[in-house]
Amino acid sequence: MIRPLIAGNWKMNGLLASLDIMREMESGLSSLQDKADCLICPPATLLASMAAEKSTSRLKLGGQDCHSESSGAHTGDTAAEMVADAGGSYVIVGHSERRADHGESSEIVATKMKAAFRAGITPIICIGETLDEREGGKTLDVVSDQLAVSIPDEASGTDFVVAYEPVWAIGTGKVATVEQVAEIHDAIRAALENRFGAQGAGTPILYGGSMKPENAAGLLALSNVNGGLIGGASLKAADFLAIYAACVSQL
Ligand code: 13P
C-alpha cells in the first residue's frame, strides 16, 4: 500500500506572517492520525524560516522548482542543493505554470529531476493537458509523452512522485470528474509499471487542480489517487487539514 501524500503548493503567496498558517497546520495535525505524509512547498524566501520554526517532523517542507546545476551564474534560480540546505525534502518540478511562464520543456524538467536526485530530495513531477489538448482528444498522448520525457533514466520508480494536474482545472474551481481522474491516473499507473516494473506500482500519484475539502474524499477514494497537490486550499490551514482528514479517514 502506498503511503498517501497531501502536499500544498503555496505558489507565489506568503510572507513571514504566513508562518502562522504553518503553526495552525502543525497543531491541527497533532489530532489527526499519522497515516499520510503532509508537505508544504512555500516560496523559496520562506523555506528556511519555516524549517527553523517547524516543531513537528509530521509536516515536511519542499521547494517549488530547482535549477539543473548545483551552483553558478544563474541569476534568480535556486539549486536543488539549496532547497535541501534550507530544510526542504521535496521539490516540485515541471509545474504547468513553470512550463507556461518559463518555457520549460519536458527535457528541461528531466534535468531538474536529476538535480533533485543529486541533492537527495524527492522530486514531484507535474504533468497535465491544456483545455485545447483535452478537447482535441489528446489528453492521454500528452500525459504519456510528458511522463516519458520528463522522467530521466536515473529514476527507479520509488524515488519520485507524479502529480497529474489538468491545466484547465488549476485555480479555476473546475475539477476533473472522478471518471476523468480515474481514467488518467490508471493510465499513468500502467505507464509507470510498464517502465519501472514492480517499482512502478509503488510510485505515489497525486491529483492536483482545485482539490478542496468538498471534493477531496471522492477523488482520494480512487485506487490510483495517492494524495493531492493543492494550491489555493493549502493557503488556509482549516481547508488543508480538512483535506488531510478526508484522506486519512479512508485508510
Ligand atoms: P489549485 O488547487 O489552486 O487549483 O492549484 C493546483 C496546483 O496547481 C497545485 O500545484
Q: Please check whether residue 147 is in contact with residue 164, taking contact to mean a CB–CB distance below 8 angstroms.
A: no
With respect to residue 180, please indicate whether it lies within any of the assigned structural domains. yes
Q: For the whole model, what pTM was predicted?
A: 0.98
Write down the number of H helices and E strands in the chain: 10, 8
Query: Any idea which residues carry the catalytic annotation?
Result: 95, 165
Q: Is the dihedral of CA 167, 171, 174, 176 positive or negative?
A: positive
Q: Please indicate, yes or no, if residue 80 is contained in any of the structural domains.
A: no
Q: Distance (Å, rounded) from C-alpha 237 to C-alpha 251?
A: 22
Q: What is the pLDDT of residue 210?
A: 94
Residue 139: give its domain's CATH number.
3.20.20.70
Judge whether 210 lies within some domain: no
Q: Is 40 close to ligand 1, i.e. is its CB under 6 Å away?
A: no
Digits of tens for pLDDT over the chain (251 positions)? 999 999 999 999 999 999 999 999 999 999 999 999 999 999 999 999 999 999 999 999 999 999 999 999 999 999 999 999 999 999 999 999 999 999 999 999 999 999 999 999 999 999 999 999 999 999 999 999 999 999 999 999 999 999 999 999 999 988 899 999 999 999 999 999 999 999 999 999 999 999 999 999 999 999 999 999 999 999 999 999 999 999 999 99
In a domain, 234, yes or no: no
Residue 43 located in a structural domain: no
Burial class (CB in 10 A: 0-12, 13-18, 19+), 12: exposed
**211 within ligand 1 shell (Cβ under 6 A):** yes
Q: Which of 127, 54, 58 is CA-nearest to residue 92? A: 127
Q: What is the SS3 assignment for 67?
A: strand
Structure letter (DSSP) for residue 2: P
Nearest-atom number in ligand 1 for the CA of 211 is: 2
With contact defined as beta carbons under 8 Å apart, do 4 and 37 qualify? yes
Q: Quick check: is 102 in a domain?
A: yes
Question: What is the rounded distance in angstroms from the CA atom of residue 208 to the CA atom of residue 9?
Answer: 10
The domain of 109 spans: 90-198
Cell of 228: 493531492
How many structural domains are present in the chain?
1
Distance of CA 29 to the CA centre of its chain: 19
Range list of β-strands (E), 56-209: 59-63, 90-93, 122-127, 161-164, 205-207
Domain membership of residue 162 (yes or no) is: yes
Give yes or no for residue 197 CB within 6 A of ligand 1. Answer: no
